Amino acid sequence: MPHIDLKNDLPGARSAFAYSPETAEPIGILAEILMRSDEGLTRSERELIGTYVSYLNDCFYCHHSHGAIACIYLNGDRQLVEQVRKNYQHAAISDKLKALLQIAGKVQQSGKAVTPDDIENAREAGATDKDIHDTVLIAAMFCMMNRYVDGLATTAPTDMSSYPLRAKQIVETGYGSHIYKSAQPASDQT
């Protein structure tokens, strides 16, 4: 049960967003820019970074939600998402993404944990300044979202079949207030 009366029975972040629309608005805009920009990193790379950081923060709702979104971008390759979460070094992803996940993992611990070597490795693997910037800010944003979701003890659906439905909604319509204002995606919808 959530720590405070959120006045809705929406899941996870959606519940906190609906409780506080004035803070949800800039967060939604930030997520839309960071997670759906097609410049530099791909959408699947962005979502994998978010999934990985959420996994490290042990945020059940976020890592399953963003893992499901990444899965759609990866044409249903659930195994790859699982590998990135648990052992990205051995996943079939680019060296660049591996180096960026290493930076994201450091940011999860502390901004100060990122070293010049981490940055150098990413550069050598082809990461641009903007890729590095976005990786740091995506990882940092998930350190906020994971704490927001779990710090209020929002409800995470135990019905795992609901995650791909919400993921599909994000992939098709993006981040923003519609994800808590409109009816939640249900399995009987197409």
Q: Provide the mask over 83-112, with x wherever binding to other proteins is found by CB under 8 A and - wherever it is not.
A: --------------------x--xx--xxx
Alpha-carbon gap, residue 177 to 25, rounded angstroms: 7
Site size toward other proteins, by CB under 8 A: 47
Alpha-carbon gap, residue 79 to 76, rounded angstroms: 9
Cβ(187)–Cβ(163) below 8 Å = no
Q: Provide the mask over 152-171, with x wherever binding to other proteins is found by CB under 8 A and - wherever it is not.
A: xx------------------
* SS3 state of residue 137: helix
Helices (H), the chain: 12-19, 21-36, 43-56, 60-73, 78-87, 95-109, 116-124, 129-151, 162-173, 178-181
Q: Which is nearer to other proteins, 57 or 184 (CB)?
A: 57
> Is residue 49 a contact residue for other proteins (CB under 8 A)?
no
Q: Which is nearer to other proteins, 64 or 74 (CB)?
A: 64
Q: Which is nearer to other proteins, 23 or 94 (CB)?
A: 23
Alpha-carbon gap, residue 52 to 48, rounded angstroms: 6
Residues lying near other proteins in the complex (CB under 8 A) are found at: 3-5, 16, 19-20, 22-23, 25-27, 29-30, 33-34, 57-59, 103, 106-107, 110-112, 114, 116, 119, 129-130, 132-133, 136-137, 139-141, 143-153
